[in-house]
Amino acid sequence: MTEETATGHGWLSATACFAIGIALIYIIDVVVHKIAPEHEMTEVENLGDVRESIRQFESSKKESKSTTAYLEAQTTERAGHYVKMDENAKLALQRMGVLSALAIGIHNLPEGIATYVGAIQNSSVGISLAVGIGLHNIPEGIAVAAPIYFATGSRWRGIMWCAISAGAEPIGGLIAWLAIGDGMDPVAEGILFGIVCGIMVCICVKELIPTAYKFAKDKTHIVAVSMFAGMFIMVASLTLFGYAGV
């Protein structure tokens, strides 16, 4: 095999592994949608609306009214429209929250793997991934906890299911540690890094950036500035680590 052929095979293999990483995220999304078709409906559009819904719900309990779940009505207007739900509706809402927790848990597995692999490659990469994914998971946690809380009236039950869904990420890291250990074959390591790169890029483009734009509302320029600032911080930290011999 000539040097040129070997180089071509290397680029082809890296590209294939990168594509596999992207495909894995989309396959997981298909599985999640099969488990919980309502999952997409639980996305949090406005944290203020969630706070107002909880305030209304707490107020109804303090006034000794019947334990009725309040959920923001799906209208074109702003917060302030709430609907009461009967027991069947509350059971359906609780089921939606539990299924969302399981679906998000499945979705979080590759994020844990990506964070672990990034951390063993470079600690700054692992830290930045953990922070970025952690911030992204805040609205996901609300999407899990809010339906369960409104359906059951128990904050602890909502927190419990949030913890269950979030626990998938350290499990993903544990799986990666068991597979890699302290080191592995260079070829296998290259394959894993290629797949994880695809996972990282797909998560950023498909999940993190759209979520950032969603919460930025009319201040979308902040997202672009923050992205460039993050890139600069990564380059600066890697450069400093290089000078430090890390």
% the chain with pLDDT above 90:
5
List pLDDT tens digits, range 180-201. Answer: 766 667 787 788 778 878 887 8
Nearest to 39 by CA among 109, 103, 131, 95: 103
Burial label for 160, CB within 10 Å (0-12, 13-18, 19+), is middle
What is the reported pLDDT for 66?
A: 45
Q: For the chain, how many residues are written? A: 246
What is the reported pLDDT for 245?
A: 62
Which of the listed ranges 28-37, 103-112, 180-189, 198-207 does the model predict with the highest average pLDDT?
198-207
DSSP-derived secondary structure for 48-71: HHHHHHHHHHHHHHHTT----EEE
- Looking at residue 74, its amino acid is Q
Residue 19 has pLDDT above 90, yes or no: yes
Q: What is the mean pLDDT of residues 139-143?
A: 73
CB neighbourhood size of 193 (10 A): 18
pTM for the model: 0.57
Q: What is the mean pLDDT of residues 11-40?
A: 80
